[in-house]
Chains A and B, each alone.
Chain A
Amino acid sequence: MRRTPKDKEDIARSLTRRTLMLGGAMTAMVAALGVRMRYLQVDQADEFRLLAEENRISIRLIPPTRGLIQDRNGKIIAGNEQNYRVVITREQAGDVELVMRRLAGIIPMTPEELEETVNDVVRHSAYVPVIVRDRLSWDDFSKIAVNAPALPGVLPEVGQSRFYPRDVDFAHVVGYVGPVSERDLAEREDPDPVLRLPKFQIGKIGVERWMDDTLRGTAGTKKIEVNAVGRVMRELERNEGDPGADIRLTIDADLQNFTQARLGIESAAVVVMDVQNGDVVACVSSPSFDPNLFVRGISHVDYQALMENDHRPLANKTVSGAYPPGSTFKMVTALAALEAGVIDENYRVRCPGYLEFGGRRFHCWSRGGHGTVSLTRSFAESCDVYYYDIAQKVGIDKIAEMGRRLGLGVRHDMPMSAITEGNMPDKAWKQQRHKAEWRIGDTINASIGQGYVLASPLQLAVMTARIASGRAVAPRLVRMIDGQEIPVPEAPSLGIAESTLAAIRRGMDEVVNGERGTAKSSRIVDVSMALAGKTGTSQVRNITAAERARGVVSNDQLPWNRRDHALFVGFAPAAAPRYAVSVVVEHGGGGSAAAAPIGRDVILYALSGGIPPLDAYPASQRGRIESMLKDLSLRDPTTGAAPKAEKA
Chain B
Amino acid sequence: MTFYDNRLKQVPTGLRKVLYLNWQLVVLIVAVASVGILMLYSIAGGDFDIWARRQAQVFAAGLVLMFAVAFVPIWFWRSMAVAAYLLAFALLIFVEFKGKIGMGAQRWIDFGVIQFQPSEMMKFTLVMVLAAYYDWLDNKRVSRPLWVLMPVLLTVLPTILVLMQPNLGTSLMLLLGGATVMFAAGVSLWYFVAVASLAGGAIAGVFLTRGTPWQFLHDYQYRRIDTFLDPTADPLGAGYNIIQAKIALGSGGWSGKGFMQGTQSRLNFLPEKHTDFIFTTLAEEFGFVGAFSLLVLYALIIGFCLVSALQNRDRFSSLLIIGVAANFFFYIAVNLSMVMGMAPVVGVPLPLLSYGGSAMLVILVGFGLVQSAHVHRPR
Interface residues of A (CB under 8 A from B): 1, 3, 7-8, 10-12, 14-16, 18-19, 21-23, 26-27, 29-30, 32-34, 36-38, 40-42, 44-45, 47-49, 51-53, 55-56, 225-229, 233
Which of chain B's residues has its CB closest to A29's CB? B333
A1, A18, A37, A42: the one within 8 Å of B136 (CB): A1
Bound: A21/B306 CA distance, A: 11
Q: Is the CB of A229 within 8 A of B268?
A: yes
B139, B247, B253, B336: the one within 8 Å of A10 (CB): B139
Q: Does B170 contact A (CB under 8 A)?
A: no
Q: Is the CB of B267 within 8 A of A42?
A: no
Give per-residue flags for B283-315: 1 if the beta carbon is below 8 A from chain A beta carbons, else 0. Answer: 100011001100100110011001001100101
B19-27, B103-111, B178-186: which lies at the interface:
B178-186
| Residues on the A chain within 8 Å of B264, using CB | 52, 55-56
Bound: A1/B141 CA distance, A: 13
The answer to whether A14 and B186 touch (CB under 8 A), given A22-B180, A37-B291, is yes
A selection of 7 A-B contacts at a CB cut-off of 8 Å is A7-B139, A11-B186, A40-B250, A42-B288, A48-B249, A56-B263, A227-B266
B137, B315, B319, B329: the one within 8 Å of A26 (CB): B329
Q: Does B157 contact A (CB under 8 A)?
A: no
Q: Does B94 contact A (CB under 8 A)?
A: no
Q: Is the CB of B267 within 8 A of A49?
A: no
How many Å from the CB of A42 to the closest CB on chain B? 6
Bound: A29/B298 CA distance, A: 12
Q: Is the CB of A37 within 8 A of B283?
A: yes
| Residues on the A chain within 8 Å of B136, using CB | 1
How many Å from the CB of A321 to the closest CB on chain B? 59
A22, A49, A229, A233: the one within 8 Å of B183 (CB): A22
Q: Is the CB of A42 within 8 A of B292?
A: no
How many Å from the CB of A10 to the closest CB on chain B? 6
Q: Is the CB of B295 within 8 A of A49?
A: no
| Residues on the A chain within 8 Å of B266, using CB | 227
Bound: A3/B136 CA distance, A: 10
| Residues on the B chain within 8 Å of A38, using CB | 288, 292
| Residues on the B chain within 8 Å of A48, using CB | 246-247, 249-251
| Residues on the B chain within 8 Å of A55, using CB | 244, 247, 263-264, 267, 269
Q: Is the CB of B322 within 8 A of A19?
A: yes
Other 17 A-B pairs with CB < 8 A, given A22-B180, A27-B299? A1-B138, A3-B139, A11-B139, A15-B318, A18-B184, A22-B183, A29-B333, A30-B333, A33-B337, A36-B342, A37-B292, A40-B246, A40-B340, A41-B250, A51-B247, A52-B247, A55-B244
Bound: A34/B329 CA distance, A: 14
Which of chain A's residues has its CB closest to B306's CB? A23
Q: Is the CB of A34 within 8 A of B315?
A: no
Q: Is the CB of B139 within 8 A of A225?
A: no
Q: Does B191 contact A (CB under 8 A)?
A: no
Q: Chain B CB within 10 Å — which of A16, A19, A49 has the most?
A: A19
| Residues on the A chain within 8 Å of B269, using CB | 55-56, 227-228
Q: Is the CB of B283 within 8 A of A41?
A: yes
Chain B interface size range: 35 or more
Q: Is the CB of B250 within 8 A of A33?
A: no
Q: Does B207 contact A (CB under 8 A)?
A: no
Q: Does B84 contact A (CB under 8 A)?
A: no
Which of chain B's residues has its CB closest to A6's CB? B139
| Residues on the A chain within 8 Å of B263, using CB | 52, 55-56, 225
How many Å from the CB of B159 to the closest CB on chain A? 20
| Residues on the B chain within 8 Å of A44, using CB | 250
Which of chain A's residues has its CB closest to B264's CB? A52
| Residues on the A chain within 8 Å of B246, using CB | 40, 48
Bound: A51/B251 CA distance, A: 8
Which of chain A's residues has its CB closest to B180's CB? A22
Q: Does B252 contact A (CB under 8 A)?
A: yes
Q: Does B326 contact A (CB under 8 A)?
A: yes
User: 8 tightest A-B contacts by CB?
Assistant: A48-B250, A52-B251, A227-B267, A41-B288, A45-B253, A228-B268, A14-B186, A49-B251
Q: Does B75 contact A (CB under 8 A)?
A: no
Q: Is the CB of B252 within 8 A of A45?
A: yes
Q: Does B248 contact A (CB under 8 A)?
A: yes
Q: Is the CB of B295 within 8 A of A233?
A: no
Q: Is the CB of B322 within 8 A of A22?
A: yes
Q: Is the CB of A225 within 8 A of B322?
A: no
Interface residues in B179-224 (C-beta closer than 8 Å to A): 180, 183-186
Q: Is the CB of A41 within 8 A of B302?
A: no
Bound: A8/B378 CA distance, A: 13
Bound: A36/B295 CA distance, A: 12
Which of chain B's residues has its CB closest to A227's CB? B267
Q: Is the CB of A41 within 8 A of B310?
A: no
| Residues on the B chain within 8 Å of A11, using CB | 139, 186, 315
Which of chain A's residues has its CB closest to B303's CB? A23
Bound: A620/B135 CA distance, A: 136
Q: Is the CB of B253 within 8 A of A49?
A: yes
How many Å from the CB of A231 to the closest CB on chain B? 9
Q: Is the CB of A226 within 8 A of B302?
A: no
A18, A42, A225, A229: the one within 8 Å of B254 (CB): A42
| Residues on the B chain within 8 Å of A29, using CB | 329, 333
Q: Is the CB of B250 within 8 A of A22?
A: no
How many Å from the CB of A399 to the closest CB on chain B? 76
Bound: A232/B315 CA distance, A: 61
Q: Is the CB of A45 within 8 A of B254?
A: yes
Bound: A595/B119 CA distance, A: 101
Q: Is the CB of A30 within 8 A of B295?
A: yes
Q: Is the CB of B253 within 8 A of A33?
A: no
Bound: A11/B287 CA distance, A: 44
Q: Is the CB of A41 within 8 A of B291?
A: yes
Which of chain A's residues has its CB closest to B329's CB? A26
The answer to whether A18 and B186 touch (CB under 8 A), given A3-B139, A37-B340, A40-B246, is yes
Bound: A55/B251 CA distance, A: 11
Q: Is the CB of A40 within 8 A of B249?
A: yes
Bound: A465/B139 CA distance, A: 124
Bound: A3/B314 CA distance, A: 12
Q: Is the CB of A227 within 8 A of B322?
A: no
Interface residues in B310-349 (C-beta closer than 8 Å to A): 310, 313, 315, 318-319, 322, 326, 329, 333, 336-337, 340, 342
Which of chain B's residues has its CB closest to A48's CB? B250
Bound: A225/B268 CA distance, A: 12
Q: Is the CB of B267 within 8 A of A26?
A: no
Bound: A45/B292 CA distance, A: 15
Q: Is the CB of A47 within 8 A of B318?
A: no
Bound: A23/B321 CA distance, A: 13
How many Å from the CB of B43 to the closest CB on chain A? 14
How many Å from the CB of A237 to the closest CB on chain B? 15
Bound: A23/B184 CA distance, A: 11
How many Å from the CB of B235 to the closest CB on chain A? 12
Bound: A30/B306 CA distance, A: 15
The answer to whether A26 and B302 touch (CB under 8 A), given A19-B184, A19-B309, is yes
Which of chain A's residues has its CB closest to B245's CB? A40
Which of chain B's residues has its CB closest to A11's CB? B139
Q: Chain B CB within 10 Å — which of A30, A36, A42 has the most?
A: A30
Bound: A8/B135 CA distance, A: 11
| Residues on the A chain within 8 Å of B333, using CB | 29-30, 33
Q: Is the CB of A45 within 8 A of B295?
A: no
| Residues on the B chain within 8 Å of A14, using CB | 186
How many Å from the CB of B302 to the closest CB on chain A? 6
How many Å from the CB of A8 to the closest CB on chain B? 8
